[in-house]
Chains A and B, each alone.
Chain A
Amino acid sequence: MSAHIEFRGVTKRFEVKVRGSRQHTEFTAVDTIDLDVERGEFVVLVGPSGCGKSTLLDLLGGLTAPTGGEIVLDGKQVTGPGLDRGIVFQQYALLPWRTAQGNVEFGLEATGVPRRQRAARAREFLDLVGLTGFEDRHPHQLSGGMRQRVAIARSLAYDPQVLLMDEPFAALDAQTRESLQDELLRIWQRTGKTVVFITHSIDEAVYLGQRVVVLTSRPGRVKETVTIDLGDRTKQDDLRSSTEFARYRHRIWDLLHDEVSRAQQQEKEVVGA
């Protein structure tokens, strides 16, 4: 049986204009990525900045098309965006003129859920993310953590099979981030969704992922996939301090270390050029 999501030799190249001339040069963001994700799995992609993590997510979300290879979701090739995949953006992407409730309903309107069911469904999912009582607040009246909860509720409400998360907690303070990570794990266990999560934080990757995929610096390739076996995270106190956690953390740090310095070198070259 084939996997839920399959990346088969996925490559994405961009054309970049060379400054001061009419020539175009090609820029490879990700290069021949092969990766399988099982149904209900929580996979974290981690890599140095500019390694094409977000490009991979855009490809899976159908927002851009790969230059080579293909992405297969449940046996069907991904050719465009669809409601079987829900994206949670780092900048929340909430509609500022709608209330929390209205924002969750926005996703339901797109799927054609009848008007009457929308309100109840939206309340149910706001409850799932712990926002009961905040239905009528507008985004500017909510804290960053609460906004991201609304965004998660919106993505879950229209019942996609896969949740794609693009550094969703990067803009939050440390405490809020930790509580949202726990919340996300709890939601994941309850809903059984497949989650593809992007981060540049090693701690976050180890804490959340069943598998952590380490990407190389540009062009992004899969360097190694690490299976994390820490049991049920939500049932343990202060898992981050355990020796097990530290071991995984160090392992991934090791894998990333060379890549990060290489990425920084690349950046210097780009700026210097």
Chain B
Amino acid sequence: MTAVLETPPKIDDRRAPAPKSPQRTLSRVADALLTGISKIAAIAVLLAVWEAAPRLGLVDATFLPPFSTVVQAWWDLAVSGKLLDNTQASLVRSLSGFGLAVAAAVPLGLLIGWYKPVATLLGPLLEVFRNTAALALLPVFVLLLGIGETSKIAIVFYACAWPILLNTISAVRAVDPTLLRLARSMDLSGFRLFQKVILPAAVPTVFTGIRLAGAVSILVLVAAEMVGAKAGLGYLINASQFNFAIPQMYAGIITISAIGVLFNQVLVSLERRFTSWRVPVGA
């Protein structure tokens, strides 16, 4: 459909989509099935190797227990409620830091992107901090804010703010100049210009930043929980390792990657919703 529309058609050239034949539907189902299978294949192979390698004695089963043992440990943790408690602790920290970062970095990024003086003022500061690894500042956060929740939420906030901030700034700067000229020719007020042109134009790039921040929020949190915490998935992994509860450690790791994938999926579908105009129909 899209291809038809993009070749410059005569104005009255309105082609209706071809009616679906049962044969085509069938082949489409087969196609979907095939894509589905090939998508799972790699993960299935990984799990199979994980299961087989310790059993065949290729690796030490003490340090890499078979996948089924890990699943059993995961189930025990889930039933005992420990998994839920730790996951909850992690999610609360991660989501609060992430949410605060979105709430603060998007408006700040819009300001910096739009107002030259603000950019000149804050530019050097941004340059210094964005090139300092967030985790290098973890001790500072612990010293200043203690080892409680505040320091953990703060470090997640700090780490998440950067991708959002930088993407928002470049989003505003990359708004098509023709659109700005159009808005100016229509004598749009500053507020209207922001609301109707700059914000919607910036949404896709801002979302890229938000998606990056989603990944960062989990990454940084786990590291923070490994350093000083009494709960959380990072704590679970670390404590399990100290107590030589290796299957539990792997169970924690699996949970974290599952949360990471899920979080990303949620953000991707949100992004799709807000930027549907960018995706050609049928693609």
- Closest beta carbon of chain A to B184's beta carbon, Å: 6
Number of chain A residues whose Cβ lies closer than 8 Å to a Cβ of chain B: 40
What residues of chain A lie closer than 8 Å to B7, measured between beta carbons? 143
Contacting pair A141 B2 (CB below 8 A): yes
B186 and A146 within 8 A (CB): no
Q: Which B residues are in CB contact (< 8 Å) with A81?
A: 184-187
Distance to closest chain B CB from A169 (angstroms):
12
Is there a chain A Cβ closer than 8 Å to B182's Cβ?
Answer: yes
User: In chain B, residues 220-256, which have Cβ atoms closer than 8 Å to a Cβ of chain A?
Assistant: none
How many residues of chain B have a CB within 8 Å of chain A?
29
CA of A109 to CA of B197, assembled, Å: 13
Give A213 to B128 CA distance when docked, in angstroms: 56
A106 at the B interface (CB under 8 A): yes
Q: Is A265 an interface residue (CB 8 A)?
A: no
Closest CB of chain A to B195's CB: distance in Å?
Answer: 10
Interface flag for B8 (CB, 8 Å): yes
A173: chain B residues at CB < 8 Å are: 8
How many A-B pairs with Cβ below 8 Å?
Answer: 79
> A143 contacts B280, CB within 8 Å?
no
Q: What DSSP secondary structure best describes chain A's contact surface? A: loop
Q: Which stretch from A35-43, A90-98, A185-193, A224-232 is at the chain B interface?
A: A90-98
Interface assignment of B24: CB less than 8 Å from any CB of chain A = no
Which of A85, A106, A131: most chain B CB closer than 10 A?
Answer: A106
User: From A61, which residue of chain B is reached at the shortest CB distance?
Assistant: B185
Q: Which residues of A contact B196 (CB under 8 A)?
A: 95, 106, 109
Interface residues of A in 178-206 (CB under 8 A from B): 179
Contact of A138 among B176, B186, B192, B277 (CB under 8 A): B277
Residues of B within 8 A of A143 (CB): 5-9
B8 engages A140 (CB within 8 Å): no
Question: 17 other contacts beyond A89-B181, A158-B186, with CB at 8 A cut-off?
Answer: A63-B184, A81-B184, A81-B185, A92-B178, A95-B201, A96-B277, A97-B201, A97-B275, A106-B196, A110-B192, A131-B11, A138-B277, A141-B280, A143-B5, A143-B7, A145-B8, A145-B11
The 5 closest A-B pairs by CB, nearest first: A143-B8, A93-B182, A93-B178, A97-B277, A87-B185
